[in-house]
Amino acid sequence: MPTRNAVLSLVIACLISTSAAAQSRQAPPGMFKDLDDEILGDALLIHGKQLFIDDYVIGEMQGMTKQLHQPTKFKQNPVLKRDKPWEPSGPGYSTLIFDPHETLFKLWYENWDQKENAALLLYATSPDGIEWTKPVLNEQGTNQVRQPNVKGFQASGIFRDARDLNPARRYKMIFSSLPDGTSKSLTTSVAFSPDGIQWTAESELHSIPFSDTQSCPLWDARRQRYVAYMRFGPPNTRIISRTESEDFLHWSPKVTVLPRTKMDGPLATEFYQMSPFAYAGGWFGVIAAYHTESLKPITDDAPWTDRKNLHLAYSRNGVTWTRVGKYGAIPRNELNGDKDWKQIALDAVFVPFGEKDKEWDWGTVSPVYTPEPIIVGDEQWFYYVGINAKNWWTWFGDPPKLDPNPKEPDKGVGLATLRLDGFVSVNAGEEAGTLTTKPLVFLGDTLVVNANAEGGSLTVEALDAEGNVIEGFGAADCTPITTDSVRHVLQWKDNPDCHLLQGRPIKLRFHMKNAMLYSFEPRIHHNHYLQSYD
């Protein structure tokens, strides 16, 4: 039987042996890296999806072009229209959200009451965003919410504020009104609701300089402020301004963020409103672009007269914006240069109005405000209000021939769907092309690519800071992408993942032929577990 000292010696020997073995273990290559300001240098530290709206991540393109894409209108449009006896008009200014807590689409839409010179705020819900129900909300048996009790209520924009700890202020609204019933009292104000149905206006109505079209409020998580986009004024002018607040009660002076430029001259374009949302590290604004205000009939040589379609604006910070055209974002310093602005404006349409006198939305289309992007499966959904009449439909001819009993046009809410990340693609044709990024650094072990390479191919190689191909990550090592998917996973022959590329300045070079590239994204798909050291 071993003595106590012998047992103790055996235990100590085992511990020493185990410790030595642990200290001898080597971490796999690339598992640990230094990263500091000097190593990062001028490289972009990226995370999340990288789109190609602007040239933020693009270093160089050869044999490639950008392309703006339009959403596809839903064949069964409109998905919601006037069908109740208490609806005096078709849908007007509207807000739509998807509530994840109730797994329900919620729509607030206005109808204009000529007798009251004010809007009725009505409410509808849908489990799928297509089939809508107008629930009974009051003793009158209608779907009208209890809107702020203020004369001349109109132009409301709404969002659900999940971060507010006060349940009575879970839903927030900016609206305009005529508190004393006359235009002299025009004001823009705020209201709150626990459920989006019962609304109470803040007692101090004069919150924000008056805006006579829909104001669009939301929470900016990066700036930690409430922001709202609305029309410039007073006096009200059809350009877009921005204001922000710490508490939704006290608001900064307006800053104009989307003025008219040379791009807007040929079609006499002005902006009715802009519906903003944050997406993929940037901001998008869907603009109601109004062309050539006129009371005269539409002519063949100017088919856009007195009609609205939807354009896009883009921003990296939500404060400074630029327009998006056929080839993506137009740098602000180019918007007043000498170009064929008429063709550029015609090519910049994101959602067009329909064919005149044939389609339900032939006259004007305006955005339904969606404070957050509506993502359904592999698509982003856009809702809009369409009308089968031009903007000044109450006029039949030249002034002063105002029809005393104009026929109310048919209005409805339409749906248009876009491929996920599908705003702007980088395209290559029969002749192969390349796109090389600026130097960038990411953390992760997987690169996911949104691309359509059916009938073509796409490969990617990684370059070091000096521009040399990194061993094992050349184009010849990359498994070619030859299909269409919003989430291709890049693979290189001798590397099960790409963690060796993380945490260091690199460039990615995309080699493409007959392919369209929409985005790329660093992800974390693997578990890089190491047993702890003694």
Give the tens place of pLDDT for each residue, 104-117.
999 999 999 988 99
Residue 43 has pLDDT above 70, yes or no: yes
Least confident of 41-45, 307-311, 334-338: 334-338
Please tell me which residue, 27 or 464, carries the higher pLDDT value. 464
Residues in the chain: 534
Residue 402 has pLDDT above 60, yes or no: no
- In this prediction, residue 533 carries a pLDDT of 64
The phi and psi torsions of 4 (rounded to 5 degrees) equal -60, -40
Measuring CA to CA, which residue among 389, 394, 402, 328 is closest to residue 354? 389
Residue 395 has pLDDT above 80, yes or no: no
Measuring CA to CA, which residue among 457, 450, 459 is closest to residue 425? 450
Indicate the SS3 state at residue 418: strand
**Which structure tokens are listed for 351?**
């959602």
Residues pairing with 160 in the sheet:
171
Q: Distance (Å, rounded) from C-alpha 471 to C-alpha 90? A: 63
Residue 473 has pLDDT above 70, yes or no: yes
% of the chain beyond a pLDDT of 70: 93
Q: Return the CATH class of domain 72-421.
A: mainly beta
The residue whose two tokens read 């809508």 is 132
When pLDDT is cut at 50, 70 and 90, the band that residue 5 belongs to is: low
Residue 333 has pLDDT above 60, yes or no: yes
- Residues 354, 361 contacting (CB under 8 angstroms): yes
Residue 17 has pLDDT above 80, yes or no: no
When pLDDT is cut at 50, 70 and 90, the band that residue 9 belongs to is: low
Give the tens place of pLDDT for each residue, 49-94.
999 999 999 999 999 999 999 999 999 999 999 999 999 998 999 9
Q: Is the dihedral of CA 148, 152, 154, 156 positive or negative?
A: negative
Indicate the SS3 state at residue 210: coil
What integer is the mean pLDDT of 476-482? Answer: 98
**What does the angle CA 487 – CA 493 – CA 495 come to, to the nearest 5 degrees?**
80
When pLDDT is cut at 50, 70 and 90, the band that residue 162 belongs to is: very high
Looking at CATH, the fold of the domain delimited by 29-68+425-523 is given as Jelly Rolls (2.60.120)
Residues pairing with 519 in the sheet:
51, 450
- Residues 123, 97 contacting (CB under 8 angstroms): no
When pLDDT is cut at 50, 70 and 90, the band that residue 233 belongs to is: confident
Residue 290 has pLDDT above 80, yes or no: yes
Residues 6+ apart with CB under 8 A from 463: 436, 469, 470, 506, 507, 508, 509
The phi and psi torsions of 215 (rounded to 5 degrees) equal -95, 140
Q: Distance (Å, rounded) from C-alpha 165 to C-alpha 146? A: 23
Pairing state between β 104-113 and 187-193:
unpaired
What integer is the mean pLDDT of 224-232? Answer: 96
Residue 248 has pLDDT above 90, yes or no: yes
Q: Distance (Å, rounded) from C-alpha 469 to C-alpha 37? A: 23
- What are the strands, taking DSSP E only, across 154-268? 154-160, 171-177, 187-193, 200-201, 216-220, 225-232, 237-245, 255-258
| Amino acid found at 102 | E
| Number of CB atoms found within 10 A of residue 44's CB | 15
- In this prediction, residue 74 carries a pLDDT of 98
Mean pLDDT, the chain, integer: 92
- In this prediction, residue 21 carries a pLDDT of 47
Q: DSSP secondary-structure letter at 407?
A: P
Least confident of 163-177, 311-325, 391-405: 391-405
Give the tens place of pLDDT for each residue, 359-382.
999 999 999 999 999 999 999 999
What does the domain layout of the chain look like in residue ranges? Answer: 29-68+425-523, 72-421
13: left (phi over 0), alpha (psi -120 to 50) or beta: alpha
Residue 404 has pLDDT above 60, yes or no: yes
What integer is the mean pLDDT of 291-305? Answer: 93
Residue 11 has pLDDT above 50, yes or no: no
Measuring CA to CA, which residue among 285, 295, 361, 347 is closest to residue 318? 285
| Amino acid found at 77 | N
**Which structure tokens are listed for 246?**
């710490």
